[in-house]
Amino acid sequence: MSILATSSFAQSPAPISSSPVVTRAWPSPSPSATPTTEDLINSLGQVDLQAVITLLKSNFTNPDAITDAELTRATVQGLITRLPHGIMLLPGKESNPPEAPSPFYSEILGGHIGYLRVGAVDSANLRALDKALSSFTGKKVDALIVDLRASSVASDLTTAADFAKRFCPKGKLLFTLHKPAARQDRTFNSDHEPAFQGLVMVLADGDTLGAGEAVAAALRFYDKALVIGQPTAGGAVEYADLPLPSGKILRLAVAEMISPDGRSLFPEGIKPDLPVEMSMEDKRQIFQSSSGKGMGPFVYETAGPHMNEAALLAGTNPEVDAAQTAQQRRGRALEKPPAHDAVLQRALDVVTSIEIYQKR
């Protein structure tokens, strides 16, 4: 049974390192810097590694703790930690309910910029995407912001390709699924003209996983879309669930997605062209609230008391201070400023800047 990347059911072993390991020659730590434990472990060759095990068995104060079973258990735990989207241990097939898929959301910002929050890359959201793109046609939408920051739920590869087809040129390679055990790679191509051909921006972060990463890579390659936000999860793989004798499940990455430019999306994911920091908590709160309020309140600042020249020089604003004092006298707590979507704001700023430049 093969499914697309998801980390919803994975157990969380005690962390050894938060960084995924890539198969490559690890550089020696800089002499001027204090090496971390990860640096030291990565610098050990096969001879040193074997020496560590031998010395542990013969010198550790509790030799009963260094059994072959414990060494094997530590190996499995270490691999799961070092390859967080490559190996997962599940308690069983039916032990945890699947993560609820994120819904599709769309609106028009600034009168002409289409905003599409893709959500889960599934058939229901694909239909919603087609409906939104069709509605944009008659509304003079000339730029799109494709938000993939809620695309972490597993989905099938064919649906992922269908999403990318809405934006990429006909006849082009969208992504390749490379499976070492197979005799040939599986390719996914666009078979019709894109539904939108204007300016495209892509928003991504650590919740952009699997199919979302494949879509982001295709849009960046063919539409020259800037990826704005934070690095993606690095889980663009196809999994196989392999049963263990105890009934537990070993979920193993058996194939990786390759972007149109020939680069693997696993395990490092996609690095943003424009990095923008934003907490996951704030983002999820905004997404939850936007269904009723829209995204406007989280990107467009509301008018507030202006600072006069004296306030600018003094670094204070008497109007703001007076308003806060009055609020406190009425026994009300100071209002917390509304959450702000700095990633979407940056995308809107880039679109506006490009349009100003093109009009010159």
pLDDT above 80 for 214: yes
pLDDT > 70: percent of the chain: 79
DSSP 208: B
pLDDT in tens, 178-199: 998 877 899 999 999 999 989 9
CA 46 → CA 16, 19, 27, 41, 236, distances in Å?
19, 21, 16, 11, 30
pLDDT above 50 for 259: yes
How is 239-267 classified by DSSP, letter by letter? EEEEE-TTS-EEEEEEEEEE-TTS-B-TT
- What pTM value is reported for the model? 0.79
Question: For residue 300, what pLDDT is reported?
Answer: 80
pLDDT above 70 for 313: no
For the chain, give every domain's residue range. 2-90, 105-275, 293-359
**Residue 245: what residue type?**
P
HEC readout, 9-26: CCCCCCCCCCCCCCCCCC
Distance between CA atoms of residues 25 and 22, nearest Å: 9
| Closest to 196 measured CA to CA, from 270, 158, 157, 141 | 141
CB count within 10 Å of CB 93 equals: 13
pLDDT in tens, 112-149: 999 999 999 999 999 999 999 999 998 999 999 999 99
pLDDT above 50 for 255: yes
Distance between CA atoms of residues 93 and 111, nearest Å: 47
pLDDT above 60 for 287: yes
pLDDT in tens, 30-70: 555 789 999 999 999 999 999 999 999 999 999 889 999 99
Structure tokens at 313: 């020089």
CATH fold of the domain at 105-275: 2-enoyl-CoA Hydratase; Chain A, domain 1 (3.90.226)
Mean pLDDT score across all residues of the chain: 85
Element of type H or E holding 311: helix 309-314
Q: What residues form DSSP beta bridges with 110?
A: none
pLDDT above 90 for 99: no
